[in-house]
Amino acid sequence: MSGQLLVRCEREWPWGMFVIDDAGLHAALPDWPDYEQLVGTDEAVLVPVMHAVDGPVVVELWAGPAESGKGWSCVWDAPLSLPSGVARVGDAEWSMVAPSALRAGTWRLRVLVDREQHSEHVRIVFTELG
């Protein structure tokens, strides 16, 4: 069974990070004491990537299983609450937002990266729980 690619964007990420959360929730962001480490809660996840000054990063959002074979590392695997059913990926200032319609509820969120430090390619994979 393969998943569906919902969004693919390639851009530079100011602050070297992006946020994944529910578009309607306006959740408080988790503390981020180490800018090299992914942190999250069941409402928001902060993903460190290559900084904008070093070049663009590809971010993909998938519904269902995504190809995660050789060369991909899973750095996050936990539930994420999407009460509105719309996941969004945005930069630190929310100047760029990529919404993706799913279904309201709690989803399994996996973050796959091409490399664990200064990632250049990230796959955000949502699969239904239960």
Average pLDDT, rounded, for the chain: 87
Q: Number of folded domains in the chain?
A: 1
Phi first, then psi: give them for residue 120, nearest 5 degrees: -110, -15
Q: What is the CATH number of the domain that holds 106?
A: 2.60.34.30
Q: Which residue segment(s) compose the domain that 15 sits in?
A: 4-128
Query: Do 130 and 108 form a contact (C-beta atoms < 8 A)?
Result: no
Q: Which residues contact 92 (CB under 8 A, 6 or more apart)?
A: 14, 15, 17, 18, 19
| pTM of this prediction exceeds 0.85 | yes
CA distance 22 to 79: 12
52 three-state secondary structure = helix
Can you tell me the mean pLDDT for 73-79? 94
Specify the higher pLDDT residue, 95 or 45: 45
